[in-house]
Structure 1
Amino acid sequence: MERYANRNGNSGVAAYQMGATSILVQFTTCAVYEYTYASAGAGNIESMKSLAISGSGLCSFIKRHVNKRYSRKIR
């Protein structure tokens, strides 16, 4: 997984890993969730990828737009 830049300094996201149609997100609680095109929608996944790369706004986006629309909890 790639470390999330956390440019604002207060994110609940610690790391992420992108796939072609998915993104894994590790939160600061150590929980890891997989979000996919099928579970959260292609547009949301692509937005999440962009936010992950920018290092800002990913946790807020998840809370506002996809919340529990993950495909699985990995840990």
Structure 2
Amino acid sequence: MGTQFLTDEKGNKTAVLLPIKKYNKMIEQLEDLHDIKLYDEAKRDDDGTSISIDEAFKIIEEKRKAVK
């Protein structure tokens, strides 16, 4: 089964009906594209003050130990 269209009384396409596997794949690809967009925005807006994830975890662990 391929993509099907729902039409109004004049034959104008008003909606799309597609298999769930095709829909899920499309959503997954859109989410991937969104992640790429966010990454590109973060790189563009980087002012040089960012730190690595490893450094961030190190700081968090040091703060946790200091609280205990």
TM-score, normalised with respect to structure 2: 0.26
Q: Compare the two structures and name the one with the higher strand fraction.
A: 1
Q: Compare the two structures and name the one with the higher helix fraction.
A: 2
Q: Larger radius of gyration, structure 1 or 2?
A: 2
